[in-house]
Amino acid sequence: MTDSPLIDQIESIFEAVADLDADRKHINAVVAAANIIEVLCATKTPMRMTALSRELDIAPSSCFNILRTLTQEGIVRFDRKGKTYAIDLGLVAIARSYLNPGGSLRVVGPLIEEFARQREITVVVWKRTGHHMMVVTYFDNGSAVRVHIEPGARFPLLAGAMGRVMAARGGLSTREIKQYFARVKWDKPISFDEFIADAEAARERGYSYDSGMFNSGIQTISTAIAQGDEDVDAVLSATMFAGQHDRKTAEIIASELGHLAKLIASVRIGRSF
C-alpha cells in the first residue's frame, strides 16, 4: 500500500492483468477465442485450424467451433479453397468503434478524471507534431476557477515542463535541442544550461517541474507517456495554479501522474491515442 489510493488502484490493475496473462489458457472459450485472434493478427499468412489448435493447445473440436463462430461474426475470414483462416474486416470495425475517437484514453479516462477532480488540477495529454506539442485532450476538475486549455492548441516543442521531458526523452540531438529551445518564449527566462540541467533531472526522477517559468502563475508537472526507455512522442501533464499545492502534495501528484502515464502507454496502440 502507498500513500496514494490512485497509485494502489493502478498497481492493482497491472497485477490483475499479469494474473490474467499467466492463467489465460485455463479460463474459458472466450479467452481461447482471444488467443486465436491474437495469433491470427500476429501471423502474416492465413492458418489452418489444425495449426491453430496445436499452437494454442486447444482441442480441435473446440477450435473449430470457435473459428466457426468468429467467421459468422465477420471477425475471421475462412478460405474454402485453402482451408485457412485469417483476420477479417469485422475486427477492424470493432477496433475503430472503440478506439476512435479517444483511443487508449477511453480506457484510462475515468481514472484521469477522478485524479483531476481529487487534486483540483487540469491534466493534459500532449503529442508531438513536428516542431510543436499539441493538446490531444484534457481533463479538468470542473470547478469555476481552473486552468483551461483547448484541444488542438499547439505550443513550442520544448516549452515548460513537457519541454524538459522531451529534451530528455524525445530522441533529440544537442543541436536540435538548442534550436528548439531558442524558439521558446519564457515569462521568466532561463539559460540553456539551466534548461539542460532540469532535463537531466527529469530523466533521473521520471518527471519535470515548471514553477511559473514558462507561464507566470502556473505550475506544471510533466512525465513521459512511454514504456521502458523508448523515445517519447507524448507527455502527460498536471497543471495547477502556483502555490496551490505544497511540495509534499506536488510530489505525490507527480508519482500519481507517472503511474497514469505508464497505464496509458500500456494500452496505447502504436503512436496513436
pLDDT in the model for residue 146? 67
- Amino acid identity for residue 99 in this structure: L
pLDDT of 123 over the 80 cut: yes
Largest interatomic CA distance in the chain: 70
Task: Locate the domains of the chain by residue range.
Answer: 5-97, 100-267
Least confident of 92-101, 139-148, 227-236: 92-101
107 grid coordinates: 480506457
Nearest alpha-carbon partner for 102 in 130, 133, 138, 72: 138
Through-space distance between the first and last CA atoms of the chain, rounded to whole angstroms: 30
Q: Where are the beta strands (DSSP E) in 130-246?
A: 132-139, 154-156, 208-211, 218-224, 234-241
pLDDT of 25 over the 50 cut: no
Confidence class of residue 200 from pLDDT cuts 50, 70 and 90? Answer: very high
**What is the residue-wise DSSP string for 62-120?**
HHHHHHHHHHHTTSEEEETTTTEEEE-HHHHHHHHHHHTTTTTHHHHHHHHHHHHHHHT
Least confident of 92-106, 123-137, 160-174, 198-212: 92-106
**For all residues of the chain together, what is the average pLDDT?**
87
Q: Is 85 in contact with 46 (CB distance < 8 Å)?
A: yes
pLDDT of 66 over the 90 cut: yes
For the whole model, what pTM was predicted?
0.69
What's the average model confidence in pLDDT over 238-264? 92
pLDDT in the model for residue 18? 63
pLDDT of 229 over the 80 cut: yes
> What distance in Å separates the CA atoms of residue 48 and residue 46, rounded to the nearest whole number?
7
User: 3-state DSSP call for residue 217?
Assistant: coil
> What distance in Å separates the CA atoms of residue 41 and residue 10, rounded to the nearest whole number?
28
CB atoms within 10 A of CB 144: 4
Percent of the chain with pLDDT over 90: 60
Assigned architecture for domain 5-97: Orthogonal Bundle (1.10)
Question: Could you read off the pLDDT of 4-17 as tens digits, one per residue?
Answer: 888 887 777 777 66
Q: How far is CA 273 from the centre of its chain?
A: 7
Q: Is 85 in contact with 77 (CB distance < 8 Å)?
A: yes
Question: Could you read off the pLDDT of 156-173 as tens digits, one per residue?
Answer: 999 999 999 999 999 999
Residue with more model confidence, 123 or 27: 123
52 grid coordinates: 491453430
Assigned architecture for domain 100-267: 2-Layer Sandwich (3.30)
